Structure 1
Amino acid sequence: MTTPGAMDLKTSRGHPWSLGQKLRRAAWMLVWGLLGRPGPRAFSPMRLFLLRLFGARIGERVLVSSGVKVLMPWNLEIGEYTAIGEGVEIYNYGQVRIGKNSCVSQRVWLCTGTHDYKQPSFPLIWDDIQVGDGVWLAAETFVAPGVTIGDGAVVGARSVVTRDLEGWSVFAGNPCVLIKPRPRD
C-alpha cells in the first residue's frame, strides 16, 4: 500500500498472522503478564531473560522496569547500558530499535502501528521506529510509526514525535519542535 511520496508502510488486511504466530503472541502475553510486568526494579534480570527467550536482541547492562508492555519481543532490539522506565509501552508490530546508552523514561509510548483512515475497513499499518545512541525520551513522550530519532537527541516530557528528529538537539512539544542544540562533551 504505497502511494507516491508516502512512507513504505507494511499493511494488514484482516488478520495477517498464522495460527502459529497467534499462539506465540498468546504465550508471550501469558508469560509476560505473570512473570515479566509485575515486581520491583530488581526483577529486571528476569525481564531481560524472558524478553531474550522470546527473541528480543538486548545488549549488556540493560534495565527494564516494572509495568513495561512489549507487544512482540521478537521485533525489539535494545543496545547496552539502556534503561526502559516504568510503564513504557512498546507497541511493535514493526521493529523497534533503541540504541546504547539511552533512557526511555516512564510511560513513553513507542507505537509502530496505526490504521489507514483512507480505507473504509481501517486496515492496520505499521512502520519501524529507530531510537539512536545516547537519546533521552522524557516521561510520557509518544513516538509515531516510521520515526527515526538521531543519536544524542533529547525529547521533552509529553512530546508527540511524528517525524524524524536530528541528533544532538533538544526537542519538545505537541507537535515536537526543535528547542536548541545539545552540546557534545
Structure 2
Amino acid sequence: MKHEALDLKTNRRHPWSLGQKLRRACWILIWGLLGRPGLRAFSPLRILLLRLFGARIGEGVLVCAGVKVLMPWNLVIGNYTAIGEGVEIYNYGQVHIGKNCCVSQRVWLCTGTHDYKLPSFPLIWDDIHVGDGVWLAAESFVAPGVTIGDSAVVGARSVVTRDLEGWSVHAGNPCVLIKPRPRA
C-alpha cells in the first residue's frame, strides 16, 4: 500500500507529529555516535540500539559498520541474517528482511520516492519484503513496493523495481531473471 507524506498543492500537514520528529532526531544522534562507526565486533551494540528504537531483530543477526537506518521502528530482520557494511535502509515504509539472508555491502533498500505526476513531487512510500534465504549482492538497489521471493539471488549493482520470484537468480538494470537457482 502506498502512503503519501505531503502534498504542497493541497497544503496538507506532514504526517509526523512533533514527538515523532523528536524521536527521529534522537535516533540520528545516537546512531551517528554509537551505531554507525566501529568494528564488526560492535554488532551486538548496533542490534541493541536498533531494538531500543523499535526494530524487531531475530537472533544471530550481524549488523556491520556504516549501516544507515532511517526509521528503526519500521525494520524487521529475521534470524541469522547479515547486513553488510554501508547498507542504506531508507524505510519510511516497513522493511521486512527474512531469516538466513545476506544483504551485502552498500545495498540500498529504499521505500520512499516522489510522485512525479504531481508538480509538488510529494513524498510517497511503500513497503519492501525480502524473503528467507535471499542474497542481495553488493550495491544492488531495491525500490519501493518490491517483494523478493525466498532463496532468490540478486546480482551486484542490480536495480530491482519489480517483484522477483524465489529460487532464481536475477541481475541487471533493470533486474531480470537470469536462471533458476538449484535447490540443494
Please say whether Structure 1 and Structure 2 have the same fold, judged by a TM-score greater than 0.5. yes
Q: Alpha-carbon deviations, 1:100-142, whole Å to 9, x = none?
A: 0000000000000000011111100000000000000000000
TM-score normalised to structure 1 length: 0.95
TM-score normalised to structure 2 length: 0.96
* Distance apart, 1:58 and its partner CA: 0.2
Percent identity, aligned pairs only?
85
Please, what is the CA RMSD of the aligned residues?
0.6
For residues 117 and 79 of structure 1, the distance between their equivalents in structure 2, rounded to whole angstroms, comes to 34
Instruction: Give secondary structure in 1 for the equivalent of 2:32.
Output: helix
Could you tell me which residue of structure 1 aligns to residue 150 of structure 2? Answer: 151
* Distance apart, 1:16 and its partner CA: 1.6
For residues 175 and 25 of structure 1, the distance between their equivalents in structure 2, rounded to whole angstroms, comes to 33
The one of 4, 7, 26 equivalent to 1:11 is: 4
Could you tell me which residue of structure 2 aligns to residue 4 of structure 1? Answer: none
Gaps of 5+ in 2: 7-12
Could you tell me which residue of structure 2 aligns to residue 51 of structure 1? Answer: 50
Is the deviation greater in 14-23 or in 144-153? 14-23
Could you tell me which residue of structure 1 aligns to residue 167 of structure 2? Answer: 168
Instruction: Give secondary structure in 2 for the equivalent of 1:117.
Output: coil
* Distance apart, 1:12 and its partner CA: 1.3
Kindly provide the amino acid, as one letter, of the partner of residue 2 in structure 2. Answer: L
For residues 160 and 15 of structure 1, the distance between their equivalents in structure 2, rounded to whole angstroms, comes to 30
Q: Alpha-carbon deviations, 1:57-106, whole Å to 9, x = none?
A: 00000000000000000000000000000000000000000000000000
Gaps of 5+ in 1: 1-7
Could you tell me which residue of structure 2 aligns to residue 21 of structure 1? Answer: 20
Q: Which aligned segments of 4 or more residues in structure 1 are displaced greater than 2 angstroms?
A: none
Kindly provide the amino acid, as one letter, of the partner of residue 145 in structure 1. Answer: P
Is the deviation greater in 12-21 or in 141-150? 12-21
Q: Alpha-carbon deviations, 1:139-161, whole Å to 9, x = none?
A: 00000000000000000000000
